[in-house]
Structure formats: structure tokens, C-alpha cells
Structure 1
Amino acid sequence: MLERMKHWARRLKRDVVALWIAARDPRTPWVATVVAAAVAAYALSPIDLIPDFIPILGYLDDLLIVPAGIALAVHLIPSAIMADFRRKADERADRPRSVVAAAVIVFVWVLGLAAVGFGAARHFR
């Protein structure tokens, strides 16, 4: 069972890179391009929307949201084209990083903290 889970995790990592490639390929349908770009950007971002140190919720995105997004994006891409993207992903030695996704997540956190700060300031004034 442990070996099956390791294989599943390796396939997910490969599919994230394949989706990153798919998001830049003109053969990918536009809806699949949008979903693939969003999923790959989030999965490759060094920053999580919900940090892992938050009990239970921190791992929720890693265990449910990311795999569900990958499954949706893979479903939207024609299987012959996805097979080509997976082959290209297997050939890649490095894992891409999404600095833009990291910046968006940091921006969302800053907005959230600002909203909490302004709310606290109004409440205690």
C-alpha cells in the first residue's frame, strides 16, 4: 500500500509539471489552459494559501484541493495531448516554480491581514 501511495504521489508531481507545460501549449483548449495554469501555479508556488502549520486545514489543500484540481485539468485536456505533455514532463529534470502564484498568495494574505487590522481598529475605537 505504501508503494502504491508513493507511485500516486510521483504521478501527481509529474502531472503538475505536465499541466504547467499544457498551459503554455496552443493545442490545449482555452478552458483547460485556464484551469491548468491555475492548478500548476498554485501547486508549484512555494507558498500555500492555507499554511501547513494550521491544524487540519493546512494539509487540506495538499490532500484534497490540489489533486482535485489536477484531476479536473487532466479531464479537460484531450488524452492524446495529455500523454505528450506527460512525456515532456518525464523528460524535464527540474521542477518549475511559480513566482507569480507566490506573489498572488502573499497579496491575498496581506489583504486579509489588513482587513482584520482595520476591523480591529474600528471595533476598539
Structure 2
Amino acid sequence: MKNKKVISHLKSYAKKLKQNLFVLYLSYKDPRTPWYAKAVAICVVAYAFSPIDLIPDFIPILGYLDDLVIVPLGILLALKLIPSIVIKEKLKAADELKKYGKPKNWLVGILFILIWFLFVLWICKTVFNVYKKFL
């Protein structure tokens, strides 16, 4: 019985997070949203809807940390910065948008691939330099 309550609560929480992401996406386009709120909102939405995570999910613990902590905190911050009247108006529009699925942000995905590629190159260079010193 308690497990069903927890699962139900988690599903409700996930549904609300997804709803808020769509609200942020729509609020970003609203001219009444201040520029700084737009900047935070678009970063959160782009990261959440990106097909690639900054920290891949196959990395134990850390892989899901971004999805469980960073995204909800980003949503909370962005919602605090956006005028409440804009949020209220966008809630209904977000329901309609959700029916068509989430928007894809391939630009952010490419950026994350580039970051990981540069990170791997840096690791390879560092390992090569250390290996060279031992020769």
C-alpha cells in the first residue's frame, strides 16, 4: 500500500515537472518575460529536452543526478523569475503542446557531444603526456 502511494506521488511529480517544462518553453517566447528569466528558462528547457545529457545516464549515480536534481532546481529558479501572470496563461497552452510531444533541441545535443569529445581529447592528451614521461 505504501509503495503504491510513493509511486503515485512520483508519477504526479514527474507529470508536474514535464508540465512546467512546457510552461517554461512557452514563457520564453512571451515578450512580458524579462531577458534574464528567458535566459534561465531556455537553458533549462534546452537541457531537459536535449537528446543528449551532459552527464550520460550510464555513469552510475551521477548519470541520473542531473535529471533528479539539476533539472528540477532549474525549473524552480526559472518559474520564480517569470511573472506569475505569464505562467498562469501558459499553463493551458502547455497542455496543448504536450499532446504533440516534446520539442527536440539538436543544437544543444551537438554542443554536449562537442564538450564530451573535447573532454576525451584532453584525457587522451594527459594520459599520453604521463606515459611519455615514464618512457
TM-score normalised by structure 2 residue count: 0.88
> C-alpha displacement at 1:24, in angstroms?
2.1
Say yes or no: does 1:108 pair with 2:115.
yes
Residues 69-78 or 90-99, more deviating: 90-99
Counterpart code for 1:17? F
- In the alignment, is the contact (CA less than 8 A) between 2:51 and 2:109 conserved in 1? yes
Q: Residue by residue, what CA displacement relative to the aligned partner does 1:42-63 show, whole Å, maximum 9, x if unpaired?
A: 0000111111111111110011
> Which runs of 5 or more structure 2 residues have no equivalent in the other structure?
none
Match of 1:77 in 2: 82
Which amino acid in structure 1 is aligned with residue 84 of structure 2?
S
| Mapped pair 1:33 → 2:38 | yes
Structure 1: runs of 5 or more not aligned:
none
What residue identity is the alignment partner of 2:61? I
Q: Which residue of 2 aligns with 1:54?
A: 59
- Conserved? CA contact 2:52–2:112, under 8 Å: yes
How big is the alpha-carbon RMSD for the aligned residues of Structure 1 and Structure 2? 1.1
Instruction: Work out the number of aligned pairs and report it.
Output: 125
TM-score (norm 1): 0.94
Contact 1:46 1:98 in 2 (8 A): yes
